[in-house]
Amino acid sequence: MNNRIGVSSACFYPLETEKALETAGKCGFQTVELFLNSHSELEDSFVDELIAIKEKYNHNIISVHPFASFAESFYLFSNYERRYTDILPLYDRLFEVTARLGADIFVFHGAKIPGSISDEEYCKRFAHLIEMGKKYGVRVCQENVVHHRSESPAYLKMMKESIGEDFSVVLDIKQAHRAGYTPYEFIDVLGESIVHVHISDRNDEKDCIPPLTGEFDFPMLFREMDKIGYNGKYIIELYYWSYEDKAEIISAYNKLNKMV
């Protein structure tokens, strides 16, 4: 199957992480983004279990999304600096596990709006996290997320200019629409800084449904990404309540393969 289309284990939440990865394998998905959902899932024995499942199904785990996303404002981007320094060992371990799983992309939500530190300090801390990830061959990437500083193309452009060539972005088309933007506004200003893409569809009633079941123009997305030389993956990322049967994801996966 085409490895440029993949699936997030989050689609199968609240299945435990190992069961979600197993489900992805049984559905025939090889390219996977893995959500880690608890501290115990960073233990060596659990990581070994994930690696065994990965090898069983010949998974290509390309990215990791951490369970601490909801708390990144509190832990990493608040004006209480000691909390920032105290939490860094957790992220060091997350980066290490990401590398052990064979992934090189780590997804950050970052600070919520308005936040309590300056943009300059935000970029300084993010750049430090990028350097931490480099030690393991992991790219620390900022995702565009509604109600977060990263929700706007302008803010991400500022981060890119501040941090430089090490800055990388995860583009989520669902989150772009939620924040009142089109994905193309992000593509125009970020270009090759986009290294990973989360995809889903939308209609008048729901803003997260399986790809190709709504109104979003996927051929146009692929064309525009081709123009900037994008050669990364497109990961189907859904909530468990946004579809009724795994067959819907498999169908979307197969149809998208023919487009890419």
Nearest-angstrom CA–CA distance, 14 and 38: 12
pLDDT band at residue 108 using 50, 70 and 90 as cut-offs: very high
DSSP letter (8 states) at residue 240 = G
**Longest CA span, the chain:** 50
Tell me the C-alpha distance between 96 and 259, whole Å: 35
Q: How many CB atoms lie within 10 A of CB 194?
A: 21
DSSP one-letter code for 204: S
Strand spans (E) along the chain: 5-8, 31-35, 60-65, 105-108, 139-143, 169-172, 194-199, 234-236
**How much is the average pLDDT of 133-138?**
98
Tell me: pLDDT of 240 over 70.
Answer: yes
Label residue 1 by pLDDT band (50, 70, 90). very low
Q: What total of structural domains would you count in the chain?
A: 1
In this prediction, residue 255 carries a pLDDT of: 96
Q: Residue 137 belongs to a domain with what CATH number?
A: 3.20.20.150
37-89 pLDDT, tens per residue? 999 999 999 999 999 999 999 999 999 999 999 999 999 999 999 999 999 99
Percent of the chain having pLDDT more than 90? 97
| pLDDT surpasses 70 at 185 | yes
Residue range 150-167: mean pLDDT, rounded? 98
pLDDT class of 142 with cuts at 50, 70, 90: very high
Domain that holds residue 147: 5-259
The per-residue pLDDT for range 191-204, each reduced to its tens digit, is 999 999 999 999 99
